[in-house]
Structure 1
Amino acid sequence: METSKLVLMRMPLGPLGTNCYVIGDKVVGEALIIDPATAEVLEALKKHDLQPKAILLTHGHGDHIGGVQDIVNQYDVPIYIHRNDVPYLSDPELNLSAYSNPTQITVTGTIKEVVSGDHIICGAIDLTVYETPGHTPGGVCYYTPGLVFAGDTLFNQSIGRTDFINGDYDTLLESIKNQLYTLPDETMVYPGHGPETQIGFEKEYNPFVAGNL
């Protein structure tokens, strides 16, 4: 999506094809980076003459935070994450990079803890935080009217895994039903992996949470 003022880009990055998103306001020349699997996302910002204002994490797994440290080293931007997932940034076993990466991932920087109802603003962009634990204890989604960045909470006709450490299946289903399914049906869902979907479509066809309202 690109308008005269706003830019929204999706880039599948890293070995697991994690969807990294950039949403930016060209008037102020700044952008928010969501779940940077690698620092390759910075090339997209340069293409649109945007400077990163902050990194927003939906959760702390290694395939979503792999590029954070490189970006912070270059731009010293804050990292937004729920307090329950802050430990994942410094613990390769929690963030799973101890098992899946050639190099273990640890992140240091300016941490901004988020809770439901917080607003993260970048020019004309105003993202509201929704707490959606289950995939991890501190999973969150970022919503603005018309779209939601869902991380690994909700996928196209699927949901996030809960067999990792601290995952909880029932909690994840409750998060989807009580948080994401309260959004308007036409809301576009931009997930952490795979193609986009819509809230209304998932209510009807998602085999894990369809109709469970």
Structure 2
Amino acid sequence: MDNSSSTERFLPVTSVNSGEGVEITPDLYCFTIQIVNVCFYGKAGRGADWVLIDAGMPKSATAIKGAAVERFGESNPPKAIILTHAHFDHIGAIIDLLEEWDVPVYAHQLELPYLTGEKDYPKPDGTVEGGLVAKMSPLFPNEGIDIRPHIQELPLDGSIPMMPGWEWIHTPGHSEGHVSLFRKQDGALIAGDAFVTVKQESLYRVFTQELEMNGPPRYLTTDWKAAKTSVEKLASLKPKMAITGHGIPAEGSWLTENLDMLAREFDKRAVPTHGKYVEEE
């Protein structure tokens, strides 16, 4: 197993929002790297405590560190890194970041084999219904990486280290150990790829970042029954704002109405008509 390929293989795909950030709440900041979002939890300020959620695309460590310096000051690493899951576009910078930041990394128990060098993900499905990104997906890395001794299991009680008031929710389907993060106090949701607000299979939609409610990216989703249950679970929380792994943040009535619709009509709106993992089910 090549323990670096998922974090070393630069992919020349991007969006109009790449390099831009938006503050969702005073302590929640969404930063876009090419086609994926990372989150900074913590109020802005030099020397302030903060947590990084997900680690972006391969070769993006410089961009993440630059955004962190701008928000939290020089020589101020996060207290921890939380991973929604370990697909290549959510761990791309992590090895480079850990060379400079000696911090713990937390993920769900079922995601750990992909972060300790024990397993590779199933290969992306280039035959799945969608668009050009789906057809390109066999080129995407699927190899596991080994980030021991940094990697740790998320606490079984649902709490999130260094993020008081937040809970993690197991939302499998897109990956076995996928989690979403929720704060009941204000209804803030970090959904990862349980659902996304862009048609991730379409190169045009990915580039333009048109707001649109969608299920998880099809080319990497291997369990559609679990994915449906996960969306239903998140819709039942009635989040007031959501940062997804791909697409622009959503809030208010648009989020409520469209997430409810996705949950009700998941088979029609999210599940592809054909594809390797659909046919296997």
Fold conserved (TM > 0.5)?
yes
Match of 1:126 among 165, 171, 175: 165
Give the number of equivalent residue pairs: 201
Match of 2:70 in 1: 47
Q: TM-score, normalised by structure 2?
A: 0.62
Deviation string, structure 1 residues 92-145 (Cα, Å, up to 9, x no partner): 8418699425x967241421212664222537x532110000000000001113
Q: Comparing 82-91 with 141-150, which one deviates more in the overlay?
A: 82-91
Specify the structure having the higher radius of gyration (Cα).
2
Relative to structure 1, is the Cα distance of residues 104 and 175 closer, same or farther in structure 2, using a 3 angstrom cutoff? closer
Report the residue type matching 1:182 in the other structure. S
- SS of residue in 1 equivalent to 2:175: coil
Report the residue type matching 1:44 in the other structure. A
Q: TM-score, normalised by structure 1?
A: 0.80
Match of 1:9 in 2: 29
- Which residues of 2 match residues 89-168 of structure 1 at below 5 A? 89=115, 90=117, 93-94=120-121, 99-101=139-141, 106-109=145-148, 110-114=150-154, 117-122=157-162, 125-145=164-184, 146-156=187-197, 157-161=213-217, 163-164=219-220, 167-168=222-223
Match of 2:248 in 1: 195
Residue 25 (1) aligns with residue 43 (2): yes
CA distance in 2, matches of 1:22, 1:191: 13
CA RMSD of aligned residues (A): 3.0
CA distance in 2, matches of 1:47, 1:20: 15
Contact 2:24 2:30 in 1 (8 A): no
| Identical aligned residues as a percent | 25
Match of 2:53 in 1: 34
Bigger RCO of structures 1 and 2 (CA < 8 A, at least 6 apart): 2
CA distance in 1, matches of 2:182, 2:214: 19
Q: Which runs of 5+ in 1 are unaligned?
A: none
Match of 1:208 among 251, 256, 266: 266
Report the residue type matching 1:128 in the other structure. E
Contact 1:134 1:162 in 2 (8 A): no
CA distance in 2, matches of 1:174, 1:100: 27
Relative to structure 1, is the Cα distance of residues 84 and 78 closer, same or farther in structure 2, using a 3 angstrom cutoff? same
CA distance in 2, matches of 1:25, 1:95: 38
Higher strand share: 1
Contact 1:132 1:140 in 2 (8 A): yes
Q: Comparing 113-122 with 139-148, which one deviates more in the overlay?
A: 113-122
